Structure 1
Amino acid sequence: MIKKWKKNSSKYLLENKIFKMREDSVTSPKLGTDHNVWVMEVPTWVNIIPITPQQEVVMVNQYRFGSEKASLEIPGGMADFGEDPKEAAIRELKEETGFEGNKVIEIGRVESNPAIMSNHTYTYLVLDCEKSSNQDLDGTEDIEIIFKKINEIPSLIKNREIEHALVISAFYFYNLYLQN
């Protein structure tokens, strides 16, 4: 059985509006040796699969600084401090796309990257999405809205047109939802 590692101390190395980088001194329960590990404290993330009455997914194509290229994704973002993930999903969908839906269903939750991150990503399915306003983007967002039929998604993943791991996991949750 894997035992919990003892945390001896923690210190913050970096803090910004997206995350805090923490260095922990820990002791291995198996070997008794001390090690430094690094953890990113990140707010809750949300991903939204918005589906229109025409059975199209409202997708976003946006530039990503990590990969230095455009990425075909579903709308998503960070929950504000203390914000309910469902409310964050509704807000992010409207900000990024200008769309709103009639029904919002939580269909999944994952640990974003438990090796180095402290947060979870929730996936919401939003049905009967219709355009209700203009996008409300921040200065680092440049988002193009693209519509894809839901049955096109598997080939977009297979052909590497969708590569974002959390987006792919969201569509996996969507398939599980359909099976129930």
Structure 2
Amino acid sequence: MGDHLQEKTLNKEKIFEGRIIELSVHDVALPNGKESKREIINHPGAVAVLAVTKENKLVLVNQFRKALEKTIAEIPAGKLEAGEDPKQCAFRELEEETGYAAESMEKIASFYTSPGFADEIVYLYEAKELQSGEVKTDEDEFVEKIEVTLDEALEMIKTEAVHDAKTILAIQHWLLKKQG
């Protein structure tokens, strides 16, 4: 499907390699025979976790995001380590950022964050049967755990306190599940 739309890479030059991402420029042959350039970010992928407590509260973390120069509330999430199973990463990230351990994880969906220029894929899971514990964030990670009702979460979307796609998608999933 869509083979007639493919672009063939003619040359690829790595411009930057960081701790998390790589940036490369690809010279490509377009379907119409012309050539163009594509700037591509390679990312190892990530997980995100919809976690709702026994009290029917959504677990979020407030985190400052330098790229945005502001703090936003997000569902627990984190980068996949090399070769790491996404489900295992979801268990790990939930516990590290919130202190909650889940009995099980159910995959909701996976999605590309910005397919126009990045290959990052996020695996969204729903945590089941939460047990509270101790937060164990990474040395360079500073988060504040909060718990909100569905109505509060929907209001946070309106006020842009929640302002990222993975969290909005998770909240919409929770809303649809409650309605269905």
Which residue in the other structure is 1:157 paired with? 157
Which residue in the other structure is 1:20 paired with? 22
Aligned partners of 2:10 and 2:61: how far apart in 1? 43
The answer to whether structure 1 residue 147 and structure 2 residue 147 are counterparts is: yes
Shift of 1:22: 1.1
Displacement over 6 Å in runs of 4+: none
RMSD: 1.7
- For residues 127-161 of structure 1, give each alpha carbon's deviation from its aligned partner in whole angstroms, at most 9, with x where no partner exists: 2322222323231x110111101342222212222
Which residue in the other structure is 1:74 paired with? 75
Q: Which runs of 5+ in 1 are unaligned?
A: none
> Letter of the aligned partner of 1:11 in structure 2?
E
Percent sequence identity is 27
Aligned partners of 1:81 and 1:88: how far apart in 2? 11
Shift of 1:11: 1.4
Aligned partners of 2:18 and 2:88: how far apart in 1? 23
Which residue in the other structure is 1:173 paired with? 173
Which residue in the other structure is 1:3 paired with? 5
Aligned partners of 1:73 and 1:46: how far apart in 2? 12
Question: Is the 8 Å Cα contact of residues 107 and 177 (structure 1) preserved in structure 2?
Answer: no
Which residue in the other structure is 2:135 paired with? 134
The answer to whether structure 1 residue 46 and structure 2 residue 41 are counterparts is: no
Aligned partners of 1:67 and 1:173: how far apart in 2? 25
What TM-score do you get using the length of structure 2 for normalisation? 0.91
Alignment of 1:68-147 (within 5 A): 68-139=69-140, 141-147=141-147
- For residues 37-75 of structure 1, give each alpha carbon's deviation from its aligned partner in whole angstroms, at most 9, with x where no partner exists: 111000111111111111111110011010111111111
Aligned partners of 1:71 and 1:43: how far apart in 2? 23
Aligned partners of 1:54 and 1:170: how far apart in 2? 18
Q: Which runs of 5+ in 2 are unaligned?
A: none
Aligned partners of 2:173 and 2:139: how far apart in 1? 29
Shift of 1:33: 1.6
Question: Is the 8 Å Cα contact of residues 108 and 173 (structure 1) preserved in structure 2?
Answer: no
Cα 1:176–1:84 shift into 2, 3 Å = farther
Question: Is the 8 Å Cα contact of residues 150 and 175 (structure 2) preserved in structure 1?
Answer: no
Aligned partners of 2:20 and 2:145: how far apart in 1? 24
